[in-house]
Amino acid sequence: MTTQDTEDLTRVGPGTVMGEYMRQYWLPAALSSELVADGAPVRLMLLGEKLIAFRDSSGRVGVMDHRCPHRCASLFLGRNEENGLRCVYHGWKYDVEGNCVDMPSVPAHQDFKDRVKAKAYKATERNGVIWVYMGKRAKAPPLPGLEVLGLPESETTVMLALRSCNWLQGLEGDIDTSHFGFLHSGHIKPEQLADDHPFRGAVFHRAPELKVTETPWGTSYGAYRPASDGRTYWRTANFLFPFWTQQPQGDFATNVHARAWVPLDDHNMMFFNFMWKRPMPDRLMGKDGKPITGVDLGMNYQPNTTDWLGRWRLTSNEGNDWNIDRAAQRDNASYTGISNIHLQDQAVTESMGPITDHEFEHLAPTDIMIARTRRHILRTARAFKEQGAAAPCLDDPDTYLLARSGFFVADPRTDWQDAYAANLKEAVRPAMRRAAE
């Protein structure tokens, strides 16, 4: 990694390599429930741009630059009324497409509203989420074809969390498998877990070996360890363009989910976790029927504010040392002293600083997925910027359907990609079942 590599990978504002690249894709931006018809506008930060989102009287969503095109007063102060957002400075009003529909401070014979347009972006809704397209195409590409997004809203859950670090740091935590046996389960003894517990393989063998390959959707890894029956235990995970991951958090056959690591600006990102609602094995219980400490789930949030970065902030953060419990760490009730699994990831990635100093780090063989993913992103984004090369998956969203993550066991003589394909063929496909119905 050179300084220029870091710049190209992490900077997301207009005109940057990654910023222009990501603008080609639909971005999850907010929950649909955050916008109320004729309600207060909401501040959004996306790819370094300060935006306003609102829902008009007819229920349509508008997303636009927060500055009024007249005198640049913020439309956050605006009146959301009668199918438009009206600037309180001079009363100019804009519809969800950014068209100026009223110019009451200008004499009628001098009105020129048909020549004024706010900088607005295309917006749509799916799975209870507002999606924004910030690219230059006259016709936006299809929404991403990830399987979990093909399920009805009633069958999915969506979780958000603001993270105060660059988007790449957050994403790389999800494709780093060797940390699991330490950060999340370093305090757990193998004998505490039942034979079918999802943590068992990582606890028995904390130093996995990896195989990595580039794929039509991005990159994929298979981390392998010996299984107790002489077979091989695999944990597979994916990076999917431009900022999606699928991690091995469950059995491969039913692990229908996707995570987005959406850059708000260079130093902050929003985590979106889309999951298929289904009965899940209790990962918090040991073989003795007692709770395993240090593996809590769920989120504790601060109240949302109207600040640019005021939504979905966790109560534990750098300002309070992520509420680390040194006694729990010392007594091995938790390897980190931070009991929540998501917060453990958040703490270590935020602790790296706003943007990791890649020239300071020393990658190991277990970081091959990270190295290969960085290289693949850089090569692809630069090809788009410099040569106009097609952005992967953009116009063929069903490519994402080939990606699945999770754990499985296989014959040690079987190639991991063959084992992956065999397990994918037998996997539960709830979205496809729904479509067939």
| Helix (H) / strand (E) containing 412 | none
Dig out the tokens for 240 from the structure.
Answer: 């999917």
CB contact at 8 A, 173 and 349: yes
Q: CA separation (Å) from 403 to 138, 156, 238, 425?
A: 29, 18, 7, 12
**Rounded mean pLDDT of the chain?**
94
What is the spatial distance between Cα 68 and Cα 77, in angstroms, rounded to a whole number? 10
User: Residue 10 pLDDT more than 80?
Assistant: yes
Question: Could you give the count of Cα atoms lying within 13 Å of 92 in the half-sphere of its Cβ?
Answer: 24
What is the spatial distance between Cα 341 and Cα 185, in angstroms, rounded to a whole number? 9
> What are the residues facing 62 on neighbouring strands?
54
Report strand pairing: 129-133 vs 26-31. antiparallel
Instruction: For the beta carbon of residue 165, count every other beta carbon within 10 angstroms.
Output: 23
3-state DSSP call for residue 97? coil
Dihedral pair phi/psi, residue 211, rounded to 5°: -120, 135
User: Residue 142 pLDDT more than 70?
Assistant: yes
Dig out the tokens for 12 from the structure.
Answer: 């997301």
Instruction: For the beta carbon of residue 7, count every other beta carbon within 10 angstroms.
Output: 14
pLDDT for res 435: 64
Residue closest to 100 by CA, chosen among 81, 84, 77, 121: 84
Domain boundaries, the chain: 26-140, 148-436
User: Residue 200 pLDDT more than 80?
Assistant: no
Dig out the tokens for 364 from the structure.
Answer: 């190991």
pLDDT for res 98: 98
What is the spatial distance between Cα 234 and Cα 229, in angstroms, rounded to a whole number? 13
3-state DSSP call for residue 22? helix
User: Residue 249 pLDDT more than 90?
Assistant: no
**pTM of this structure:** 0.95
Which CATH architecture group holds 148-436?
Alpha-Beta Complex (3.90)
Strands (DSSP E) contained in 72-155 are 79-81, 84-86, 93-94, 100-102, 120-126, 129-133
pLDDT in tens, 26-71: 999 999 999 999 999 999 999 999 999 999 999 999 999 999 999 9
User: Residue 281 pLDDT more than 70?
Assistant: no
User: Residue 280 pLDDT more than 70?
Assistant: no
Average pLDDT over residues 319-341: 95
Burial 256-267 (b: 16+ CB within 10 A, else e): bbbbbbbbbbbb
Q: Which residues contact 379 (CB under 8 A, 6 or more apart)?
A: none
Q: Which residues contact 387 (CB under 8 A, 6 or more apart)?
A: none
pLDDT for res 437: 60
Fold (topology level) of 26-140 = Rieske Iron-sulfur Protein (2.102.10)
Q: Is the dihedral of CA 208, 212, 215, 219 positive or negative?
A: positive
Share of the chain above pLDDT 90, in %: 81
pLDDT for res 289: 80
User: Residue 22 pLDDT more than 80?
Assistant: yes
pLDDT band at 399 (very low <50, low <70, confident <90, very high): very high
CB contact at 8 A, 265 and 172: no
